[in-house]
Amino acid sequence: MTAVEDPTSTTAPEAPANQVGQARLRKEDARLITGATTWTDNMVLPGMLHLSVLRSPVAHARISHLDVSAAQQRPNVVAVYTGQDFAEEQGSIPCAWPVTADMVNPGHPSVAVDQVNHVGEAVAVVVARSRSAAADALEAIDIDYESLPVVLDMEEAVQEGADLVHSHTSSNTSYHFVFDAGEAGTGADTDQAFADAEVTVSRRFVQQRLIPAFMEPRSVVVQPQGDNFTMWSATQIPHVLRVMLAMVTGIPEHKLRVIAPDVGGGFGGKLQVCPEEVLALLIARRLGKPVKWTETRSESLMAAHHGRDQVQFIDVAADREGNLKGLRVRLLAGMGAYLRLITPGVPALGAFMFPGIYKFPAYRFECDGVFTNKVPTDAYRGAGRPEATFAIERIMDELAVELGMDPLELRRKNWINAEEFPFTTVAGLEYDSGDYGAATDQALELVGYDELRAEQQRRRESNDPVQLGIGFSTFTEMCGLAPSRVLGSLSYGAGGWESASIRMLPTGKVEVVTGSTPHGQGHETAWSQIVADQLGVPFEDVEVLHGDTAISPRGMDTYGSRSLVVGGTAVVKAAEKVVAKARRIAAHLLEASEDDLEFTGGTFSVKGTPGTGVGIQEVALAVFAAHNYPEGIEPSIDAEATFDPVNFSFPHGTHICAMEVDTDTGFVKIRKYACVDDVGTIVNPMIVEGQMHGGLAQGISQALYEEAIYDAEGNLTTGTFVDYLLPSAADLPHFDTGNTVHPAPGNPLGAKGVGEAGCIASTPAVVNAALDAVRHLGVTDIRMPLTPERVWRAIHTGGDGGDRATAGTNAYGGASTESTAGVSTDASSLGGDR
């Protein structure tokens, strides 16, 4: 026991009282940004084969002829598989969220068997000894398609007699989901509220399709070893994936290990059981050889799931004084051609957030999930909540105009006041804590509101070609997904708990095993800060393990701003158990009663006798040696905890955007952006700031830049980053960010979640700002994204700017301008791997 002096003596000065709250640099960044980690595509296994996927160049067709024999003869080709080869064993991509009992799920083959339903759908897979050989052999596959009518427009798709995406269904509607506050007992009758209303405003908003443009492409490696399989995948959800793959393929769950190594972003786009993951597993099983598949960026844009895609019909009712009376929401939600993991659940998750921060007495929500011949939609940063926030924050501005009220005054009049928390909303949610007024006041100051309004006035009076507008978004979101019982009541196929365990190593170092699998968020740093505080050990002494179902067997992974709120709390609970177990050992070693011990700064000491004590890291060595510990207990202070929240958490904030609109060209430029967010207690301010910046960029990008566009034949026109525009730092303004802190009452960290806040809040603030700049010119709406052409047309010819031309740009060095930038036309028979 002599060695135990050292850890204690070095621990004390290195462990400041509180790591939580400090802007610690991220532990993981050095390896992530210097290429010192092993991304999935870097994996090389002996004898590994490479997959390349042939993808449908047509949106809706029967496969009338498919001959792979020539491709099989190509050099270094090992096998070529079609849907027929896997028809019996591939099952369906799972959908874990049947939102209604009668939801129609047509089934989703991983590789099309006899019919394709969207451009980019897999129709054959080449297995070859090199990636380039696999790509080359795609050209030798002979395939013919017999065209079927293409279903693209949701409003047409739901009409009686419309062409069907799936001929074996009776309509293109997958489900009709309703939440009615009157029926649920959380509000008054909505129809009555509208019948009695003095003022009603109705709008149709379009949530365009977005593509989750994660930096690292999807990639999967599968290694078969006897009847065991190990899969490495660039996924957000190794734990969920393992369960689902076991169910789909019949490989017993305990024979399947899934590893998400360091993963380069996801934004919901890797919250999926991908067809290619299933195919890689089936092919590795069939060949008994390791295989790798890594998508090209073009494949990623056309075949990985998209996000958003809603047509929103929003009605709001109020009295002349601006008191809200009712809200009615009807959605057409684009499913795409199939239902993937939580495709139908995304709009349903949003159902509860349309009332926003306001006290509506009545509310009704209806949503039709609609099939089209497009790639399926699914989670994308915010998943349902950005759509809801956009609708409510936009309609509040429209109502303010109708009433002749200041948009902020209208909001203040109707939002939940600080003293009213916890507040049960008309949607039945219990909002936990916050102060909307305080965040708003701080944001107004940050942005320099009065000065901006004065400038806006000057520009209007001088008829300046550059007009200025100011837009608000006073938002809240539902985070910390999720209380398992609530998920059950919504028919979701799993729980929302999270798991953590803590292993105390003999030298006093600490391994924290988390079920929250990060894909860039910085969990290792934040979890280390939490554990350093809980156990009183140095930040550097904590290692966080994750992402491997063999190392971290239980988990629900990372999405829905849940990691810190749920996973971080599990870490706290595990640490509390470690301390409790260590206390018994320490009492034994100190020959004192447990009740007489206090634990501070990592040391157990007898109350009133300073200087005598034993460090928790010493205790770790003591139980390792196990020479001297109390009778009747195990020689271990390791512990595990599972946390299941009882409520969501509700971050909120006020975002203010000041926008310049060049009325000559329609070009919009953000002049200033300020936001004050309440994300509860902040563990690492730098990570929070980073999450806000990234989220803002994505939310602003929905407002101004991004849109996945299909042409009339169902080709993805925006098939490269030349046509699918993403902003860079050069295109974004400086962000003035601030925080108010009202700790979440539902977890010991007080954290509310921050991963999606910026993305959810910013989009309506940006659009509201642009409209505020040009509303005096007669503009009442502009479709997202606010391309210069749309803004210009809205100003000069009225309307919302309308559809964009569907030809791809001709600016890609010869990529055909005619139809689809060469991604997937009839003419480019090469189809997929490019």
- Which residues contribute to the site for another protein (CB under 8 A)? 131-132, 135-136, 296-298, 664-665, 667, 705, 709, 717-718, 720, 722-723, 725-728, 730-731, 787-789, 792-793, 804-817, 822, 828, 830, 833-834
Rounded CA gap, 118 and 113, in Å?
A: 13
CB of 42 to another protein, least distance (A): 17
CB of 817 to another protein, least distance (A): 6
User: What DSSP string describes 284-325?
Assistant: HHHHTS-EEEE--HHHHHHHS-BEEEEEEEEEEEE-TT--EE
Rounded CA gap, 141 and 830, in Å?
A: 9
CB of 752 to another protein, least distance (A): 32
CA-to-CA dists, residue 193 to 196, 291, 362, angstroms: 5, 60, 7
Rounded CA gap, 574 and 499, in Å?
A: 9
Nearer to another protein, 166 or 292 (CB): 292
Which amino acid does the sequence have at 521? Q
CB of 663 to another protein, least distance (A): 10
Rounded CA gap, 738 and 440, in Å?
A: 11
Q: In this structure, what token pair is assigned to residue 461? A: 């009076």
Which amino acid does the sequence have at 703? A
CB of 286 to another protein, least distance (A): 24
Which residue shows structure tokens 């369960």?
243
Q: In this structure, what token pair is assigned to residue 801? A: 């700017």
Nearer to another protein, 701 or 768 (CB): 701
CB-based burial of residue 267 (10 Å sphere; 0-12 exposed, 13-18 middle, 19+ buried)? buried
CB of 782 to another protein, least distance (A): 15
CB of 217 to another protein, least distance (A): 9
CB of 126 to another protein, least distance (A): 12
Rounded CA gap, 686 and 127, in Å?
A: 45
Nearer to another protein, 25 or 805 (CB): 805
CB of 116 to another protein, least distance (A): 21
Angle between helices 275-287 and 238-249 (to 10 degrees): 60
Q: What region does 785 belong to: left with phi over 0, alpha with psi -120 to 50, or beta?
A: beta
E strand or H helix at 12: helix 5-14
Q: What does DSSP say about strands 307-318 and 324-336: parallel, antiparallel, or unpaired? A: antiparallel
By three-state DSSP, how is residue 668 classified? strand
Nearer to another protein, 131 or 413 (CB): 131
CB of 830 to another protein, least distance (A): 6
Nearer to another protein, 134 or 587 (CB): 134
CB of 787 to another protein, least distance (A): 7
Nearer to another protein, 131 or 693 (CB): 131
Rounded CA gap, 794 and 798, in Å?
A: 4
Distance of CA 576 to the CA centre of its chain: 30
Rounded CA gap, 562 and 515, in Å?
A: 11
By three-state DSSP, how is residue 664 classified? coil
Rounded CA gap, 23 and 318, in Å?
A: 45
Rounded CA gap, 62 and 70, in Å?
A: 21
User: Which ranges in 379-426 belong to alpha helices (H)?
Assistant: 385-403, 407-414
The residue among 303, 301, 360, 350 whose CA lies nearest residue 327 is: 360
The residue among 807, 768, 798 whose CA lies nearest residue 784 is: 768
CB-based burial of residue 555 (10 Å sphere; 0-12 exposed, 13-18 middle, 19+ buried)? buried
Nearer to another protein, 227 or 664 (CB): 664
CB of 142 to another protein, least distance (A): 17
Which residue shows structure tokens 């621990």?
11
Nearer to another protein, 313 or 812 (CB): 812
Nearer to another protein, 611 or 814 (CB): 814
Rounded CA gap, 391 and 387, in Å?
A: 6
CB of 776 to another protein, least distance (A): 21
CB of 793 to another protein, least distance (A): 7
Nearer to another protein, 453 or 669 (CB): 669
Nearer to another protein, 421 or 667 (CB): 667
Q: What region does 560 belong to: left with phi over 0, alpha with psi -120 to 50, or beta?
A: left
